[in-house]
Amino acid sequence: MIDIALLDPHPVVHKGFNSFFRKTEHIRVVATFSNPDQIPQFLENHKIDALILEMELEGHSAIQVIKNVKKIAPRIEIIIYTALPQSIYGISLLKAGAVGYLSKKVSRRVMIEAIEKVVATGYHITSNFAQEITNNIDLSKPRNGYETLSPREIEVLKLLIEGNRNIEISAKLKISQKTVNTYKTRLMRKLEVENTVDLFQQARNFELI
């Protein structure tokens, strides 16, 4: 029997998750949590094989939650289960100690197979597991995206993530604001993001911040 728990701030997700596994004889949902602060006390008295974790936790960092859980119970496998894009957020969470990153769009079959695999082998899996593209993730691979940036693009990126506005970047680099916008567009395209929030996250993935 595989015992799992869910951490998600939305009660409706808890109901759906319990329903998800109700007819699965070898996987049992033993607890659902809305707040990460509920987990330490639970783990003092209970043992689980895997924690399914939503990364959007109001007032809490998913990365810190992962580290805290692994510190208390190192053998628990943690799978991120979220609607946010794996390409942007997956690497940081896997580096923190998660072993999987699944979209909330995956089927029940894929979720079950993913849990079975990480509990049995500890291998990293992602939503691509559905197409059996990958079992082990090269956590250094995203740095390749950073290596495609020109020196000037890197300068602009660093200034952006430091909180500089276009007019300030323009003044510091002695280029026009139009040119700053051009570099910003290139950065978004090369790093496959659509807004500055995701750009900031990619900068974390590349260990720029």
pLDDT tens digits, residue range 69-104?
999 999 999 999 988 877 667 777 887 889 888 888
Average pLDDT over residues 158-182: 90
Average pLDDT over residues 26-36: 95
| Domain covering 2-131 assigned CATH 3.40.50.2300 in the classification | yes
pLDDT of 184 > 70? The answer is: yes
pLDDT of 33 > 50? The answer is: yes
**Predicted pLDDT of residue 121:** 84
**Predicted pLDDT of residue 130:** 47
More confident residue, 126 or 94: 94
**Predicted pLDDT of residue 133:** 36
> What architecture (CATH level 2) is domain 143-205?
Orthogonal Bundle (1.10)
pLDDT of 141 > 90? The answer is: no
pLDDT tens digits, residue range 50-62?
999 998 888 888 8
Residues of the chain above pLDDT 90, percent: 41
143-205 matches 2-131 in CATH topology: no
- Report yes or no: 66 and 98 within 8 Å, Cβ to Cβ: yes
